[in-house]
Structure 1
Amino acid sequence: MAPAHLRKPPQAPPVFTATPQSLVADAERLIKVSRDVQDKIVAAIKPDTAAFDSVVRPLSQNDNVMALEAHILGFYQAVSTDQKLRDASSKAEELMDEFSIESVMREDVFTLFDAVLKKNEDLDPESRRLLEKEHKEFVRNGLGIPAGPQRARFKEIKMRLSQLSIEFQKNLNEENGGIWFTPEQLDGVPEDVTSGLKRGEGENAGKLWMTFKYPDLFPTMKYATNTEVRKQMMVSNENKCNQNVPLFREAIILRDEAARLLGYPNHAAFRIEDKMAKTPETVDTFLGDLRKRLTAGGQKEIQTLLNLKKEHDPNADGRYYLWDHRFYDRLMLERDYSLDQQLIAEYFPLQTTIQGMLKIFEELFGLEFVEIVGEDRAAVAPTGKGNDIVWHEDVQVFSVWNDEGEGSGFVGYLYLDLFPREGKYGHAANFNLQPGFIDGEGNRRFPATALVCNFTKPGPKKPSLLKHDEVVTLFHELGHGIHDLVSKTIYSRFHGTSTVRDFVEAPSQMLENWCWTPSQLRSLSRHYSSLSPEYLAGWQEAQQARGKTATSPPSENIPDDVIENLIRTKHVNDALFNLRQLHFGIFDMTVHEPESHDAIEALPISATYNRLRQEITQMDGMEALSGGHEWGHGEATFGHLIGGYDAGYYGYLSSQVYSTDMFYTVFKDDPMNKAAGRRYRYQVLEKGGSQDEMTTLTQFLGRAPETTAFYKDMGLA
C-alpha cells in the first residue's frame, strides 16, 4: 500500500463506465456545448472590439474542457472488449471529427481571429503561438478558398478523409486472421509461443492457430525453420487487411485534391510547411542522402546473410527474401555474437522490467510512481468503485508525483495495458487520455496517459518475458508517456507530445539509448527463476526439456558477458534496418508528392509499395517468384499513413538525428546524471509544443542541432 501522503491525489482519475449509448450521447453533448460557445462569441463580439481575452481565450478554455472527455470517447475503440462499445466509440470520434472540421471552417469565427491577430496585442509567448497557429489552421482548412463550390468541395473531402481514417484503423483493430499449422510445421518456434496458441478441432484437429498479432508473428518469422511457413506468414500478413486497399487509395487521391484546392502543388508541400523540415525538398534531400550512405552497407549485409543462408540451406535458390530476414538475422547473431535472444528474455520479466524503468525515470526526472491497487483504487475513484478507473482487469494504474527535491506535488496518472486481446489496437502506442492545462480559474489540470502494448501473456510456469527489442519498445513508449506527464503548458493544444510530427519521436528515441547502456541493462534485469519457487521449478523443467541439467539457478542479474555480446550487436545489420525505415519514408513521400493529380490517380499503389521496398531494401518479395509487384498490400496495414504520419513518416529518421545529438552531447558519458535529467525534463519535455521545437532543441544543446552524432552512431560518418 502506498504511503499515506501519496494515496490521495488532488484530482480524481477519469472513470471508464461508458455504454454504447452514453458514448454517442456524450459526443453530441460536447459538440452542442462547444457550438453554443462559438455562437455566443460571434453574437457578442464584433471585429473592431475583438481581443485575445474575449475571443481566443474562451474558445481555448472550451477546447481544454472538451479534451478531458473527447480523448476517452475515442479511446474505447482501441481497447474495449465489447464490439458495440468499440463501434460506438468510432461513431463518437466521427461526430467529433466532423464538428472539428465544421469549427475550423467557420468564417464568422475566423473573421474574429483575423481581427485579433491584426491588433498585435502584447501576449505571453505561448498565447501568441496559440493565436498564430489557430489563425493559420483556419486558412489551411479552406478559408483561404473563396466561398462557393470549391470551398464546399474542400469541406466534403475533409469529412470523407475523417471517415476513411476511422474505418481504416477500425479494420486494423478488428483484424483477427491467422493460419492453421501442424506442430511439425512450427518446428523451431519457441514453446512459450506455441503453448499459448488455440488448438484446432474437427478438420483442424491437431493443428495450432497462428495469428498475425506481434507476439505470434515475430517469433514465427525469427524461429520457424520451415521456409514455406515463414513465406506463408509474411505474404498472408501483407494481405490481412485488404478491405483497406481502396480506402488507402481514396485517401491519397483526396488529400492531393484538397492540397491543390488550397493552392499547394501536392499534399506533402501542404503537410510539411509547418513542420521543422518546412519543404518536401528538404525531406527528399535528407532521405536521398541517407539512402546513398546506407545502400552499400545494405548490400554487404545481405551478402553476409546470403552466405549464411547457403550454408544453412545448400538447396536455396541464391536469393535473399523478405521472409528470410528475421530468421537469418537471428541465426547470425547467435552464431557470430553468441547472442541467445531467448536467454536474454529470461532476464527481463515484464513486471520487474517496468519497475526498473520507472526507477530510472524517478532518478533522472525527480518523480515517484505509486501503483494504485486494491482498496486504494476505490479510495481514489470518484464513484467509490475501484474497477471504474480502468477499462479492463489487466490494466495497471499509477499515480505519479514529484519527489521531495522537485516539490512533492502531484503530476498525473499513468496506465499500462500490456497484453493482446481481440479487438484491441495491435501495435504499441501511447494515448493521451486527458491533457494538462491551466483552467479558467488559474488552477492546473493534471494529465492522464496510457501505454497500450501487446506483449506475451504470463503463464503458470513463466511470467511474460521481453525480448531485448521489446524492452526498447517499452522504454520508447514509456518515454512518450513521461513526455505527456511532465509537460506543463497553459493550453491543452500544446500539451506533451502535441509537437510537430518530425520532432515528436525524438524525446522517446533519445531514451532508447538507456537500453544499450550496461549499467542500466543490469539494473533492469532480474532472472525470472528468482521471482518465485514456481518459476524456478518451471525454469528447471524447461532446462531438462532442452536436454540440459539445471543444477543451480542462474545469476539473478544478467551476466556481464551477455550484456557485452548484446551491445556488440547494436548496429549489426543496421543498414538493412534503416533501409526498411527509408522504404516507409520514401513510399510515403512518393504517394504524397505526385507531379499531377492525374499521376496519383494512375499510380498503382500496392505495386509501388512493393517495388520501392525491393529497390530500397534490396530484399526480394513474391515479385522475384511471380514476376509482378502486385502480390501484397502492405500499405493497407500501414496505420501511420492514415493516422497522422502522412507526408511525415520521415520524422522517425529525422527525429533520430535530434535524439542522437541530444544523447551524445548531454548524456552519453553519464546517462544517470540527475542535473542533466532535470534539465532535459524542464527544457525539453515540459515545453511540449508550447514553443518552436527548434528553439527547444537549440536551448537544450546550446547550439543548433547537427547530424554528426547520428552518422557516427550508425558508422556512416
Structure 2
Amino acid sequence: MKKWIVFIFILAQAAGVFGMENMFRNGVLHFDYHAEELAPAEAAARQQLEKELDALVAIPDGQRTFENTVLGYERAFEHYGDALGMSGFLSYVSTDKAFRDAALALQMQMSQYMVDIATRRDVYRAIKAYADTKPTLEPDQALLLKDMMIGFKNSGMDLNDADLETFKNLNKEKAQYIIQFDKNIQEYKDELDVTPEQLKGLGEDYISKLQKTADGKYRITLDYPDYVPFMLNADDASARKELEFKYNRRGGHENVDLLEKTLTLRRQIAQLLGYKTHAQLKLENRMAKNPQRVFAFLKDLEKRLKPLSKKEDKNLIAYKNEKTGGKSRTLLPYESGYWANKYKKEHLDLDSEKIKEYFPSDVVISGMLDLFGNLFGIAFEPVNIPVWHPEVKAFKIVNKADRALVAYFYMDLYPREGKYKHAACFDLVGGQEKEDGTYQVPFVAIVANMNKPSADTPSLLKHGEVSTLFHEFGHVLHNALTKARYGSQAGTSVSWDFVEAPSQMLERWAWNPQVLKKISRHYKTGEPLPDALIEKMIAAKNFGAGGVYLRQNFFAQYDMTLHTRAKTPDTTKTYFYLTKKIRGLPLTKNTYPQASFGHIMGGYDAGYYGYLWSEVIAEDFFHEFEKSGVFNPQTGLKFRREILEKGGTLDEEQMVQNFLGRKEDMGPFLKSIGLEEK
C-alpha cells in the first residue's frame, strides 16, 4: 500500500518498538512487554516526535534537502511508530487479555493523536517549500515526495482552519469506530453445542479436537477450523442451519451501527477534501484510478460469470433434490457448501477430509520452503530466537549465493483464545536503509488458524489451507526480499490493487502436480498423493468457480457501492439486495454478515475489488513461469528483481511491464477459471 497516502491508518496500526535500541536483544526482536509500560513509552515518543518536527520546521528554506526535509519527516514518524515495541502486533496474538486491551486502547489514542500531528500546517509548509523548488531526484525519491504530498492533501492541509478542525474531529471519531469494530469481531463469542448424533459426517480427527460439555455434548465454535468442516460435512441440516445463523451475526449489531457511522464519516471527509465520494479519494493513486473503471471491470466479469454460476447452481439443486426427494428451487445458505462437498465426493471422488491426510503441516511447510527457496535463490534455517508463544516457529532467511542474511520469519499457525481469527502476514519490522547507512533486516510473520495436532494425528491441512499458506507466504517474500531504500516504499508498500498479485501468483504452485508430490506425505503411510488423486484434484479445481468468483465479485461491488453512494445506505438491505442480484441465492433472515466483514473497515475500504484485479495480473505472472518451467530459477530471479525487491519504488504498471515485457493480459486469468475466450 502507498504508505504516505494512507499514513494516518498506517501509524494507527504501527507495531513499533520501545525505541530502536530497545527493540532488539542480541540482534533479534523480543516480545517481553507489559501493559503498564505502554503509556509511558508512547508519551516519551510523542515528545520526541514533536521535537524532531519542530527542528524540521526550523530549517531555513534555502537549506532544505531531500535528506533533512523529506527523509527527515519520514524518519520522525518512523521513530514515533517505533514507540510501542511489538505491542501493536501482540494485541492480535497475545494470550494476555489485559495486555491486548491496553494495546488496543493505546492504538486508539495514537490514531487520534496522529490526526492532530499529521495536520500541522507548519510542517506541511516546510515540505511544500522544498517540493515547490521542483528538485531533481532519483525515481524512488521523486515517487516518495509525490506520495507524501498526496498524503498531505488527503490529511486536509489545503483546507481552511475551520474545515481542518472538522476534518480532524471526523477522523478521530472514525478511528475509534474502526478499532472497536475489529475488537468486537475478535472478542465475539457464540457456539453451538451438538449431540454425538449431530456430528454424523465428521471425521474422528475433527471430533477429537472438540471441547466436550458437562452434559456430554460437543462444542462447535465460530472459528474457521470448527465452522468450515462442520458446514461442509455435518449431515444434520438443522445443526448447520443454526450454526450458519450464529456465524453470520458475528460482531453483533453494534458493528452494523459502527459500519454505517464510518461510511457517513468517510463520505464527509472525502467531500471536505474535494472528492465526490470516499471511493474517488481512495482510488486516485491506485492502478484502477477511479470507481467507474472498477465498476466496469466488475460488471464485465459478473456478466461472464453468471451463466457459469447459474449452470452450477441448477446442477447442485438437482443433485440435492435427487438425494432428498424434495422439489427445492434454490440453495439455502447452510446448504451450498454441504451439497457441493457431497457432490464432489460422489462425482469427482474428492473428499477433502481424506485429501488432508496427505498434508501434514510440517511436510507442507518443509516442501514449500524448499520449493520457493530454490526458485528465488534463498534458504530458510530454523533459529532459536525469542517468540511470543511456544507454538511459534522462527527461521532466518539467507541468500544461497553468498549466505548473507536477508530476513527473519515467524510462523504462528494454530488458533487460541483472543488470537487474530484469520490468516495474515504481519510485517513486524520493514526493510529500509538505516541512518548509519546499513540496511535494516526485515522481520515478518505468518499468523493463521490451522488444525492443531491431536493425540492421534498431526496437524493436517485441507488443500484450501495449503493454498492459503502459499498465498500468505507470497506476502512474506514480498516483505522479506525488499531492497527499497525507504521504509514507506518497502515490501508490500504498493498500491492496494496490486499488493495481492505476488501472493496470488504463489497459490498457483499449490496446484502443480510436481509440487503436490513434493509437499504431500500421508501421515500414516508416508506415501505422497497418488497421481490419480492429483489428476482428480486438478480436474475439479474449477468446480463451482462461477459461484466462487461471483461471490468475490459481490463483495467487491458491495464495498464499492457503499463507498460511492451519495447517502449512507442501509448496509443490511444493500447486502441482501446485491447478493440476490449478483449471486442469485437467498440469505438467512435476521443475519447481518457485514458485521464481520472486517476488510471494509480495516483497510480494504473501496479496495476489495483489488483481489480480482490483482488476480488477473497474478495469472499473467504465473503464465510467464509456465512458459519457462515453474521451477525455473532464472524466471524466479527475474521476478525477485523486478517485483519482490522493488516494493513501491516504481509505478506498478511499469513493474508489471518490466517483468512481462508487455502490459497485462486477461487471457491467462479467464483460462485459469474455465472461461477461456473462444
**TM-score under structure 1 normalisation?**
0.89
Q: Which one of 427, 433, 457 corresponds to residue 428 of structure 2?
A: 433
Per the alignment, in what secondary structure is the counterpart of residue 451 of structure 1? strand
Q: Does 1:472 align with 2:467?
A: yes
Q: What letter corresponds to residue 180 of structure 1 in structure 2? A: D
The answer for the alignment partner of 2:477 in structure 1 is: 482
SS in structure 2 opposite 1:142?
coil
Contact kept in structure 2, 1:64 and 1:437, CA below 8 Å: no
Structure 1: 5+ residue runs without aligned partners? 1-8, 378-388, 530-553, 624-630
Any conservation in 2 of the 1:71–1:433 contact (CA below 8 Å)?
no
SS at match of 2:445: strand
Q: How big is each residue's C-alpha offset from its partner over 1:36-91, in whole Å with a ceiling of 9 and x where there is no partner?
A: 1101211x223344332221122223334444555722111110111111011112
Cα distance in 2, alignment partners of residues 223 and 714 from structure 1: 25
Secondary structure of 1:315's partner? coil
- Letter of the aligned partner of 2:171 in structure 1? K
Report the Cα offset of residue 284 of structure 1: 0.4
Residues 1:219 and 2:229 are matched in the alignment? yes
* Distance in 2, Cα, partners of 1:358 & 1:157: 45
- Per-residue Cα deviation, 1:447-471 (whole angstroms, up to 9, x for no partner): 1011000001101210010000000
Cα distance in 2 for partners of 1:609, 1:527 equals 42
Identify the range of structure 1 (344-353 vs 53-62) with the bigger mean alpha-carbon deviation.
Answer: 53-62
* More off after superposition, 650-659 vs 151-160: 151-160
Asked whether the equivalents of residues 10 and 410 of structure 1 are also in contact (C-alpha less than 8 Å), the reply is no
What's 1:61 paired with?
75
Partner residue, 1:4: none
Of 86, 93, 108, which aligns to 2:122?
A: 108
User: How much does 1:474 deviate?
Assistant: 0.6
1:354-374, Cα deviation, whole Å (9 max, x unpaired) = 11100011101111111114x
Q: Residue in 1 aligned with 2:33? A: 18
Secondary structure of the residue aligned to 1:166 is helix
Question: Match for 1:393 among 379, 390, 395?
Answer: 390
Q: Secondary structure at the match of 1:489?
A: coil
CA distance in 2, matches of 1:168, 1:520: 40
Q: Say whether the 8 Å CA contact 2:317–2:328 is kept in structure 1.
A: no
Displacement of 1:112: 1.1
Per the alignment, do residues 11 and 505 of structure 1 end up closer, same or farther by CA in structure 2, a change over 3 Å counting? farther
What letter is aligned with 2:272? Answer: L
Gaps of 5+ in 2: 1-23
Match of 1:606 in 2: 572
**Does residue 275 of structure 2 align to residue 232 of structure 1?**
no
Provide the rounded CA distance (Å) in 2 between the counterparts of 1:259 and 1:353.
45
**Where does residue 86 of structure 1 map in the other structure?**
100
Check whether the contact 1:174–1:424 (CA below 8 A) recurs between aligned residues.
no
Under a length normalisation based on structure 2, what TM-score does the superposition of the two structures give? 0.94
Aligned to 2:86: 72
Shift of 1:290: 0.5
Contact 2:628 / 2:635 at 8 angstroms: preserved in 1? Answer: no
Matched, 1:580 2:593: no
Which position in structure 2 is the counterpart of 1:197? 210
Amino acid paired to 2:453: P
The alpha carbon displacement at 1:568 in A equals 0.5
Match of 1:208 among 208, 218, 231: 218
Cα distance in 2 for partners of 1:396, 1:68 equals: 24
Q: CA deviation at 1:175?
A: 2.1
Question: Are the counterparts in 1 of residues 108 and 175 from structure 2 also a CA contact under 8 Å?
Answer: yes
Q: Secondary structure at the match of 2:607?
A: coil
- Displacement, 1:438? 0.4
Quote how far apart the aligned CAs of 1:291 are: 0.5
SS at match of 2:196: coil
Tell me, in whole angstroms, the C-alpha distance in 2 between the residues paired with 1:20 and 1:365. 40
Among candidates 183, 188, 193, match of residue 170 of structure 1: 183
Residue 252 (str. 1) matches residue 263 (str. 2): yes
SS at match of 2:330: coil
- Contact 1:73 1:92 (8 Å CA) reproduced: no
Work out the CA distance in 2 between the residues paired with 1:418 and 1:396.
Answer: 9
- Are the equivalent residues in 2 in contact too, given 1:71–1:434 (CA < 8 A)? no
Give the SS at the match of 1:119. coil
- Paired position in structure 1 for 2:339: 328
Deviation at 1:656, TM superposition (A): 0.5
Deviation, 1:516, is 0.6
Matched-pair contact (CA < 8 Å) for 1:401–1:409 = yes
Q: Tell me by how many angstroms 1:11 deviates.
A: 7.2
2:618 corresponds to: 659
1:71, 1:153 → 2: CA distance? 32
Q: C-alpha displacement at 1:715, in angstroms?
A: 2.4
Following superposition, the deviation at residue 555 of structure 1 comes to 5.7
Query: How far is the alpha carbon of 1:489 from its aligned partner?
Result: 0.9
Aligned pairs for 1:625-644 within 5 A: 631-644=590-603
Deviation at 1:233, TM superposition (A): 1.2
Identify which range, 274-283 or 159-168, moves more after superposition: 159-168
Q: How far apart are residue 637 of structure 1 and its match?
A: 0.3
Q: What secondary structure does 2:498 align onto? A: helix
Q: Is the 8 A contact 2:382 2:396 kept in 1?
A: yes
**Structure 2 SS opposite 1:501:** coil
Aligned-partner Cα distance in 1 for 2:62–2:154:
24
The counterpart of 2:520, out of the listed 525, 531, 538, is 525
Structure-to-structure mapping, 1:530-679, within 5 angstroms: 554=525, 556-594=527-565, 596=566, 599-600=567-568, 603-623=569-589, 631-679=590-638
- In 1, Cα distance between equivalents of 2:188 and 2:506: 32
Q: Give deviations 1:212-262, integer Å, cap 9, x for gaps.
A: 000000001100111111111111111121131111111111101111111
Structure 1 range deviating more: 654-663 or 172-181: 172-181
- Paired letter, 1:391: W
Q: CA deviation at 1:666?
A: 3.3
Aligned partners of 2:103, 2:131: CA distance in 1, in Å? 36
- CA distance in structure 2 between the partners assigned to 1:96 and 1:681 by the alignment: 35
Partner Cα distance (1:306, 1:286) in 2: 30
**CA shift digits 1:415-451 (9 cap, x unpaired):** 1000001111000000111111001121101110110
Residue 490 of structure 1 and its aligned partner are, at CA, apart by: 0.9
Q: Which deviations, in whole Å up to 9, do the C-alpha atoms of 1:126-157 show, x marking residues without a partner?
A: 11111111111111111121222x21111111
State yes or no: 1:693 paired with 2:652.
Answer: yes
Name the stretch that deviates more: 475-484 or 90-99.
90-99
CA distance in 2: counterparts of 1:11 and 1:652, whole angstroms: 39
Match of 1:3 in 2: none
Aligned counterparts of 2:351 and 2:282: Cα–Cα separation in 1: 43
Separation in structure 1 between the aligned mates of residue 626 and residue 651 of structure 2, nearest angstrom: 23
Tell me the amino acid that sits aligned with residue 652 of structure 1: Y
SS at match of 2:312: helix
Kindly provide the amino acid, as one letter, of the partner of residue 615 in structure 2: Q
Alignment of structure 1 residues 303-452 onto 2, 5 Å: 303-315=314-326, 317-373=328-384, 377=385, 389-403=386-400, 405=401, 407-452=402-447
Q: Distance in 1 between matches of 2:625 and 2:463?
A: 25
**C-alpha distance in 2 between matches for 1:697 and 1:353:** 30
SS in 2 for 1:323: coil
Aligned CA distance change for structure 1 residues 192 and 69 (closer, same or farther; 3 Å)? farther
Contact 2:194-2:218 within 8 A present in 1 as well: yes
